[in-house]
Structure 1
Amino acid sequence: MHAFRTHTCAGLTRDNVGDTVRLSGWVHRIRDHGGILFVDLRDHYGMTQVLCDPDSPVFAQMEKVRSEWCIRIDGTVKARDEGLVNDKIPTGEIEVFVRDMEVLGAADELPLMVFGDQEYPEETRLKYRFLDLRRQQMQENMILRSNVVRSIRNRMWDKGFNEFQTPIITASSPEGARDFVVPSRLHPGRVYALPQAPQQFKQLLMVSGFDKYFQIAPCFRDEDPRADRSPTDFYQLDMEMSFVSQQDVFDTIQPVIGGLFEEFGGGKTVDTDWPLISYADAALMFGTDKPDLRNPIRMQRVSEHFRGSGFAIFANLLGKDGTEIRAIPAPKGGSRKFCDRMNKFAQEQGLPGMGYIFWREEEVPDEARYDSGHPLFQIWFSQLEELIDRAPETLSEEQRDFLARPLPKSIDEVPFNTPRYYAGAGPLAKNIGPERTEALRKELGLEVGDAAFFLGGKPSEFEAVAGRARTVIGDELGLTDQDRFAFAWIVDFPMYEKDDDGKIDFSHNPFSMPQGGMAALEGDPLEALGYQYDLACNGYELISGAIRNHRPEIMFKAFELAGYGKDEVEKRFGGMVKAFQYGAPPHGGCAAGIDRIVMLLAEEANIREVILFPMNQRAEDLMMGAPSEPVSGQLMELGLRVAPKD
């Protein structure tokens, strides 16, 4: 018999009844039923119920066993009574009567329980991650991750890509985040860097003639932590192709990512239509460059409805350069309570608030019912025509004849029992008047019971809050489809932006080809667009990529606009610049965040739930004690000393 097991804890069935077996695993749960001990024994594969009574020669030993002890048992497989069968587990038809046992590893008092769904502080979970990972949900998440990576490799190999490994120790590169630097012992005063991405190396592979490359690449960035981002390292599907256009990259990677979500998405709908949305349109309609298309709300500019209006705040704003008013439609949000709550949300986000209008049914007032020239009469009649247009087949002959005649003089002449209209409510509607309010309703496609929220000023000052408000509105009103994966390519990113000091800097990947080549860099840099693209899914960025700048003269010009002289470019990127002078092919690619993909597939809200050994919010490894203080010998070898703290 094997030293530890003849079967796994998921491997026994009714066919094994009467067999003598050996199992090893962890004590998941113990139940004492009147002197009979029932133990759920767990290993990586599943669970088996074992029992021990005073007739067993090891009963006294079994009484000492506690949760999470690692034990080995020998015993006889027995069939469970019909009424005690557990259909939820593969071994639910049998149990094992224990005849011998050995403690393989006793456990101290547990800092967190593996059995059950108790919540524990993140610090406890990360400090004792080896226990946390024993929990069923964590086991499932990590197996999902392994299966996703395996599927990615198979899909890329099937498409003719070759997997290569690029260096982990390299030179610093401006990828948009801080480097982790590694001091050199052999070259005192000089440092290596851990790669933020294999960017330069994969481009060099294209120059080397390999045509299609990928790897499951570790990347290192010294970033502030977020729920969807690790503060130190992460893994990505990194790929590059030669002689391709932007659309070629899309056509190559879409079946890979779409196939992953179909394979591991748990039956959720996976959109097959992945629209291309410009960065500018994404900012306008969604307030973000990673929109959640499951939410049907689309924001839009409505400045003209407020220019010269009675709402002085917006009217005065529009007199300043670069300002506009945007609307966030809120179908089904037409209550003052909800509108006030969203106004408070905007204030909590640092804005003065959000204007709002909500629509409700009201009686046409007497002064308008008998005056076809009255604005409310005309609004009412226009809304009546709108309702009729939606269901013309329901009209009677009398009603059809009526619609062919000129505008009536009073409501009493109308053969429709509907003397009510959609009236805008709220302070904003009162200030701008019924005509403007009705024009807004029509433009936004809203009805009774709906609302709209309004933000004004320079877009850079309110756009992000508007995007978050759109998300909250969609979630709270039940508009966002939770059973769907919706993808969109965000394209036409600006090459440059101004930093906080007003300096021109790269807004995205610095190695991207500008649209229009050199000519695009001769004018205003802030108007230059790059062949850069992101893939958004359900509000997260999954992929970032670009068609690369493989022309040295264009590359020098692009970096010059961002403040990098030719000498500095050659110093920092000498290998790539030199390579481009020896017949570089046009090439492009992208990188997909594996951690974030698995987070979405596992339906987790925090990326740490799908990483084996993550850092905490302060970028600390509580289990291993990193970062640690260097010992004096290490510092001496590297020619370093630690500056005293202020």
Structure 2
Amino acid sequence: MHAYRSHTCAALTAANVGETVRLSGWVHRVRDHGGVLFIDLRDHYGITQVLCDGDSPAFADLEKVRSEWCIRIDGTVKARAADLVNPKLPTGEIEVYVRELEVLGASEELPLMVFGDQEYPEETRLRYRYLDLRREKMQANMTLRSDVVASMRKRMWDREFREYQTPIITASSPEGARDFLVPSRLHPGKFYALPQAPQQFKQLMMVSGFDKYFQIAPCFRDEDPRADRSPTDFYQLDLEMSFVTQQDVFDTIQPVLQGVFEEFGGGRKVDTDWEQISYKDAAKWYGTDKPDLRNPIKMQDCSEHFRGSGFAIFASLLENEGTEVRAIPAPTGGSRKFCDRMNKFAQAEGLPGMGYIFWRKQSADSIAQERGITVKDVNALIKSGEIVLGNEAAGPLAKNIGPERTEAIRQQLGLDVGDAAFFLGGKPKAFESVAGRARTVIGDELGLTDTNRFAFAWIVDFPIYEADEETGKIDFEHNPFSMPQGGMDALNGNPLDVLGYQYDLACNGYELVSGAIRNHRPEIMFKAFEIAGYGKDEVEKRFGGMVNAFQFGAPPHGGCAAGIDRIVMLLADTANIREVIMFPMNQRAEDLMMSAPSEPMTDQLMELGLRLIPQD
């Protein structure tokens, strides 16, 4: 028999009854039933119930074991009584009577329990990650991650891509985040960098004629942490293709990701029609370039209804160039109580509040006030049929702008009795993000968001440039290596009108994919950087390897990268990316388990020719 096990803890069934077996694993739970010990023995594959009584030579030793001891047992497989069968376990029809025990690894008192669903502070979970990872949910998350990566690889190979590896130690290259620098021992005073992405190398592969590339690529960025972003490193499905258009890239990656979500989405609906939305429209309709389309709310420009109206705040604001008033429809949100809650949300976001209108059935009181008659007279007219109750708009805004304007707003937004609308005004860039968060809250609170669905949308037509509001200086707003739509001709016009062949894929409010058709023409690249104030010499100095390669017959090419951590996070139905990373950093970019970052040894610094400057 094998030194540690003849079967895993998920393998035994009624067909094994009577066999002598050997199992190894961790003590998941101990139950003492007065002279009979029951232990749930767990390994990576499952759980088997083992038992022992005073007749077993192993009984005295088995009484000493505690939760999370690692043990080996030899015993006989027995059938459970019919009323004791556990249908939830693959091994639920049997149990193993223990005749021999070996303790492979005793455990001290546990800082966190593996059995059960107790909640522990994240700092504790990360400090003792090896224990946290023993928990059923974490085992499932990491298995899911592995299976997703394997599925991605197979799907890419099936689409005639080959996997190639790119360097981990390279030159510093600005990709929109801070580099992790690595000092060179052989070249004192010089530094390598960990790659923020394989961007330049995969483009150079296309110049080298490889046509189709993919990689499950590690990327390193010194970023501020968020719940959906690691502060140090992450993995992405990285791909690049030659002789392709933007649509070719979409048609390549969609079946790969759609298939992964269908395979691992747990039965949730996976949209197959991936809408293409311009960056401008995404900001206008959803307040973000990563909209959650499970939420049906679409914001609209309602400026005309407030221009010259009795609501002075919006009316005067609209006299300024570049301002507008945007409405957030709220179907079924037509109550003062809900409107007040949303007003508090706006105040928590740093705004004075949000204007709102809600629509309700007309009341006899409001008609009496409008006509200057008594409520009794109104009720009589209603009874006689001379007055038919319609709907009316309520709220401070409605009183200020009057019934004709509120009715026009209602019709534009397609709202009815029992619905509401919220309003924000100013320069769109100043309020869009708050409006987007308000849209999310409204959709969630009113139950409008379909949580049993994966909804995808390509965000396209990103502007390449932006102007500083104070200085007017033109700089890159998005990826500087994207091919401008219209090529060189586009760069000879107004820079703020130039759009790039750049695209993101949004799913359920998260950015999953980012990519572009690359600017492979040196003369167009130099011109693009010149507009943003970067001379030819600086471009050649910073991106010399790629620029030089483009002088030798570079093909049109493009690609994208899909964030694996974020994809698995969605599939695992968690909002915290650390739940799907084996050994993540905490919110302060610290590894509490391995005590990183740590202070270097003096001889290490001397070898590298470095000296630390004391921090106050």
> Structure 1 length normalisation: TM-score?
0.92
Partners of 1:154 and 1:361 in 2: how far apart? 59
Q: Counterparts of 1:467-478 in structure 2 under 5 Å?
A: 467-478=436-447
Partners of 2:108 and 2:489 in 1: how far apart? 70
Deviation string 1:80-100 (CA, Å, 9 cap, x unpaired) is 011100000000000000000
Q: CA deviation at 1:350?
A: 1.1
Task: Give the partner amino acid of 1:464.
Answer: S
1:511 to 481, 484, 499: 481
Partner of 2:377: none
Residue 437 of structure 2 is aligned to residue 437 of structure 1 = no
Q: CA deviation at 1:566?
A: 1.0
Partner of 2:264: 264
Partner of 1:522: 492
Partners of 1:564 and 1:231 in 2: how far apart? 29
Task: Give the partner amino acid of 1:459.
Answer: P
2:553 alignment partner, SS class: coil
Partner of 1:395: none
Deviation string 1:113-165 (CA, Å, 9 cap, x unpaired) is 00000000000000000000000000000000000000000000000001000
Structure 2 residue runs of 5 or longer lacking an equivalent are: 373-380
Q: CA deviation at 1:422?
A: 1.2
Q: CA deviation at 1:524?
A: 2.4
1:628 to 571, 585, 598: 598
Partner of 1:299: 299
Task: Give the partner amino acid of 1:163.
Answer: E
2:102 alignment partner, SS class: strand
Q: Counterparts of 1:9-88 in structure 2 under 5 Å?
A: 9-88=9-88
Q: CA deviation at 1:103?
A: 0.3
Q: Is the 8 A contact 1:359 1:451 kept in 2?
A: yes
Task: Give the partner amino acid of 1:129.
Answer: R
Partner of 1:187: 187
Deviation string 1:495-521 (CA, Å, 9 cap, x unpaired) is 022458744322222211011111222
Q: Counterparts of 1:270-419 in structure 2 under 5 Å?
A: 270-363=270-363, 365=367, 419=388
Q: Is the 8 A contact 2:540 2:547 kept in 1?
A: yes
Residue 498 of structure 2 is aligned to residue 560 of structure 1 = no
Q: Is the 8 A contact 1:351 1:462 kept in 2?
A: no
Q: CA deviation at 1:218?
A: 0.2
Partners of 2:108 and 2:532 in 1: how far apart? 58
Q: Residues 501 and 114 (structure 1 numbering): CA distance in 2 closer, same or farther, change over 3 Å? A: farther
Partner of 1:374: none
Give the fraction of aligned pairs with identical amino acids, expressed as a percent. 80
Task: Give the partner amino acid of 1:423.
Answer: E
Partners of 1:560 and 1:239 in 2: how far apart? 29
Residue 505 of structure 2 is aligned to residue 535 of structure 1 = yes
Quote the RMSD (CA, aligned, Å): 1.7
Partner of 1:594: 564
Deviation string 1:528-567 (CA, Å, 9 cap, x unpaired) is 1100000000000000000000000111111222232211
Residue 422 of structure 2 is aligned to residue 453 of structure 1 = yes
Partner of 2:555: 585
Partner of 1:105: 105
1:611 to 569, 581, 584: 581
168-177 vs 474-483, which moves further: 168-177
Q: Is the 8 A contact 2:24 2:72 kept in 1?
A: yes
Task: Give the partner amino acid of 1:591.
Answer: A
Q: CA deviation at 1:369?
A: 8.8
Partners of 1:433 and 1:106 in 2: how far apart? 77
Residue 434 of structure 2 is aligned to residue 465 of structure 1 = yes
Q: Is the 8 A contact 1:369 1:411 kept in 2?
A: no
Structure 1 residue runs of 5 or longer lacking an equivalent are: 371-409
Aligned pair count reads 607
Q: CA deviation at 1:523?
A: 2.4
Partners of 2:59 and 2:496 in 1: how far apart? 78
Partners of 1:544 and 1:583 in 2: how far apart? 26
Residue 593 of structure 2 is aligned to residue 640 of structure 1 = no
Deviation string 1:627-646 (CA, Å, 9 cap, x unpaired) is 00011111111111111112
1:615 alignment partner, SS class: coil
Partners of 2:136 and 2:443 in 1: how far apart? 32
Residue 534 of structure 2 is aligned to residue 576 of structure 1 = no
Partner of 1:216: 216
Q: Is the 8 A contact 2:382 2:389 kept in 1?
A: no
Q: CA deviation at 1:349?
A: 0.6
Q: Is the 8 A contact 1:50 1:98 kept in 2?
A: yes
Q: Residues 367 and 616 (structure 1 numbering): CA distance in 2 closer, same or farther, change over 3 Å? A: closer
Deviation string 1:562-608 (CA, Å, 9 cap, x unpaired) is 23221111111111111101000000000000000000000011000
Partners of 1:501 and 1:167 in 2: how far apart? 41
2:92 alignment partner, SS class: coil
2:594 alignment partner, SS class: coil
Deviation string 1:2-56 (CA, Å, 9 cap, x unpaired) is 0000000001001111100000000000000011100000000000000011101
1:479 alignment partner, SS class: coil
Partners of 1:597 and 1:637 in 2: how far apart? 42
Q: CA deviation at 1:206?
A: 0.4
Task: Give the partner amino acid of 2:433.
Answer: A
Partners of 1:504 and 1:636 in 2: how far apart? 44
1:420 alignment partner, SS class: coil
Q: Residues 252 and 418 (structure 1 numbering): CA distance in 2 closer, same or farther, change over 3 Å? A: farther
Partners of 2:469 and 2:589 in 1: how far apart? 26
2:499 alignment partner, SS class: coil
Task: Give the partner amino acid of 1:601.
Answer: L
Deviation string 1:370-406 (CA, Å, 9 cap, x unpaired) is 9xxxxxxxxxxxxxxxxxxxxxxxxxxxxxxxxxxxx
Task: Give the partner amino acid of 1:312.
Answer: A
Partner of 1:496: 465
Partners of 1:452 and 1:103 in 2: how far apart? 66
Partners of 2:387 and 2:402 in 1: how far apart? 22
Partners of 2:353 and 2:494 in 1: how far apart? 35
Partners of 1:607 and 1:127 in 2: how far apart? 17
Partner of 2:244: 244
Partners of 2:33 and 2:369 in 1: how far apart? 83
Task: Give the partner amino acid of 2:540.
Answer: E
Partners of 2:369 and 2:119 in 1: how far apart? 64
Q: Counterparts of 1:139-218 in structure 2 under 5 Å?
A: 139-218=139-218
Q: Is the 8 A contact 2:114 2:135 kept in 1?
A: yes
2:567 alignment partner, SS class: helix
Partners of 1:633 and 1:37 in 2: how far apart? 56
Q: CA deviation at 1:366?
A: 6.2
Q: CA deviation at 1:75?
A: 0.3
Partners of 2:324 and 2:139 in 1: how far apart? 50
Partner of 1:383: none
1:23 alignment partner, SS class: strand
Task: Give the partner amino acid of 1:519.
Answer: D
Partner of 1:380: none
Task: Give the partner amino acid of 1:470.
Answer: R
1:440 alignment partner, SS class: helix
Task: Give the partner amino acid of 1:48.
Answer: T
Partner of 1:402: none
Q: Is the 8 A contact 1:175 1:510 kept in 2?
A: no
Q: Is the 8 A contact 1:363 1:419 kept in 2?
A: no
Partners of 2:47 and 2:369 in 1: how far apart? 78
Q: Is the 8 A contact 2:184 2:190 kept in 1?
A: yes
